[in-house]
Amino acid sequence: MPEFFHDKRLYYTPIEFALSHIGGTWKMPILWRLQEKPLRFSELKKDIPHITDKMLTSQLRELESKEMIHREVFPVIPPKVEYSLTEKGKKAIPVIETIMTFGYDLIKDAGITFPPKE
């Protein structure tokens, strides 16, 4: 497979390029939560409890720079910012859903009770 450069980075496969957009621990959960409606930072933070403010901020910036999400600032006091999916971000949802289904199947095959009973 031919390698290629984008944004001063060498990629070896289209998979690697796609994962640069949606890979990692937090990008897919963020995109998944934005599929229904735009959300504010605090709403995302509340819905993804284990993410730190710093990590959420960096992931949102990265998703915005990759044009996966749109950040809208409203001219009000106090400032109001909402995040929503772009068309490119919406294209990722079926991929995320497939990965999630695969994950559920792996959990089931491993005999893990999910969600865990408390």
The DSSP secondary structure of 9-39, one letter per residue, reads EEESSHHHHHHHHH-SSSHHHHHHHTSSS-E
Q: Is 106 within a domain?
A: yes
Q: Is 115 within a domain?
A: no
Can you give the pLDDT at residue 96?
A: 97
Count: domains in the chain? 1
Can you give the pLDDT at residue 1?
A: 74
Q: Is 99 within a domain?
A: yes
Going by C-beta distance under 8 Å and a sequence separation of 6 or more, which residues neighbour residue 108?
Answer: 114
Q: Is 95 within a domain?
A: yes
- For 74, the token pair is 């409203």
Q: Is 19 within a domain?
A: no
Can you give the pLDDT at residue 116?
A: 80
Can you give the pLDDT at residue 67?
A: 97
Q: Is 1 within a domain?
A: no
Q: For residue 95, how many other CB atoms are within 10 A of its CB?
A: 14
* CA angle (53, 56, 61) in 5-degree steps: 125
Can you give the pLDDT at residue 81?
A: 96
Can you give the pLDDT at residue 74?
A: 94
Q: What are phi and psi of 26, to 5 degrees?
A: -110, -20
Q: Is 8 within a domain?
A: no
Can you give the pLDDT at residue 5?
A: 87
Q: Is 68 within a domain?
A: yes
Can you give the pLDDT at residue 23?
A: 95
- Predicted TM-score (pTM) of the model is 0.89
For the chain, which residues score pLDDT lower than 50?
none
User: Residue 67: which domain range?
Assistant: 26-110
